Amino acid sequence: MAVTEKIDTLVNLYHNDKLSHVYLIETNSISQATNDILNLSKKINCENEYEINCHKCNLCNLINQNFLPSLIIIEPDGNNIKKEQVIDLKKRFSYKALYTKNNIYILKEADKLNLTAANTMLKFIEEPGENIYGFLLTRNINNVIPTIKSRCELLSLQYEDNQINDIDEYKKVAIDYISKIELENSPKIMYNRNVILNNYCEKENIIRIFQEMLKIYFEAYSQNKKILALNKLTKVELQKRINLIIKFLSDIDSNANVELLLDRFVIELSDDYD
């Protein structure tokens, strides 16, 4: 069954009051699956007859802007999903939803729930409260703690047009990484672990992230499009970053130690005497 048909089946189950309270979804694209669950939420909540890209109603607009209080997306904070994040979710859903009949949460990378978070999550899954629906996403269902897995309805969303989704995913990581290394004050080396190495260990993936970064810096340099994090950079500073990325991409081919290369990259990036 195609993914859109599966989503429509879930919509029907919802309308017949038969939607399970928690689904554990295995998928080859977390970002694409997240998108589809957002679409599911639009389809069941839309004030109009939902059509693709509804911009007519408030609800769909709120969902598009990630602003609907009854829809919460949780993702790993650094290495894993922490207990506090689950407690916060519980708290926010202890009130009745204001604009919708249901509260929906999406938990990305369910395999990254640490043990205490998983225990808190378990209680929440067992007594979710009325009209709360959860969608836990993972790339590999076997990496999810068995007690969680056994309490969820299992579902698989596999995307054929991988290529396109992957590009989206790498672009998102690139923007996240750039925003952190350009704007935040903590030691930049930290983000090599948090954003990149803990999630991507294959050289090939890291190359794709840096290729996306190159595009973003280059667009800013040629004044086509600038993401917020690059607003304050001068042309000279942008040029320096472009050179460093090009150097990184040529070194990574012949150098086995990716970690070292990444660290050198951020150190040279912050070195003002260069």
Residue with tokens 């669950």: 37
Q: Closest distance between Zn ion and the C-beta of residue 45, in Å?
A: 8
Whole-angstrom Cα Rg for the chain: 21
For Zn ion, how many residues bind (rule: CB under 5 A)?
4
Q: Closest distance between Zn ion and the C-beta of residue 61, in Å?
A: 8
Q: Which one, 49 or 204, has the nearer CB to Zn ion?
A: 49
Q: Which one, 47 or 84, has the nearer CB to Zn ion?
A: 47
Per CB under 5 A, the segment of 46-54, 67-75, 171-179, 214-222 that binds Zn ion is 46-54
Side chain identity at residue 193, one-letter code: R
Q: Which one, 25 or 54, has the nearer CB to Zn ion?
A: 54
**57 makes contact with Zn ion (CB under 5 A):** yes
Q: What is the DSSP letter of 65?
A: T
Q: How many CB atoms lie within 10 A of CB 169?
A: 19
- The answer to whether residues 4 and 159 touch, using CB atoms and an 8 Å cutoff, is no
**261 makes contact with Zn ion (CB under 5 A):** no
Q: Token pair for residue 194?
A: 């948090």
Q: What b/e sequence results for 10-20 when a residue is b if at least 16 CB atoms lie within 10 Å of its CB, and e otherwise? A: bbeebeeeebe
3-state DSSP call for residue 152?
coil
**266 makes contact with Zn ion (CB under 5 A):** no
**60 makes contact with Zn ion (CB under 5 A):** yes
Per CB under 5 A, the segment of 16-24, 41-49, 242-250, 259-267 that binds Zn ion is 41-49
- Element of type H or E holding 25: strand 22-27
Q: Token pair for residue 182?
A: 């350009």
**46 makes contact with Zn ion (CB under 5 A):** yes
**54 makes contact with Zn ion (CB under 5 A):** yes
Binding site for Zn ion (CB under 5 A): 46, 54, 57, 60
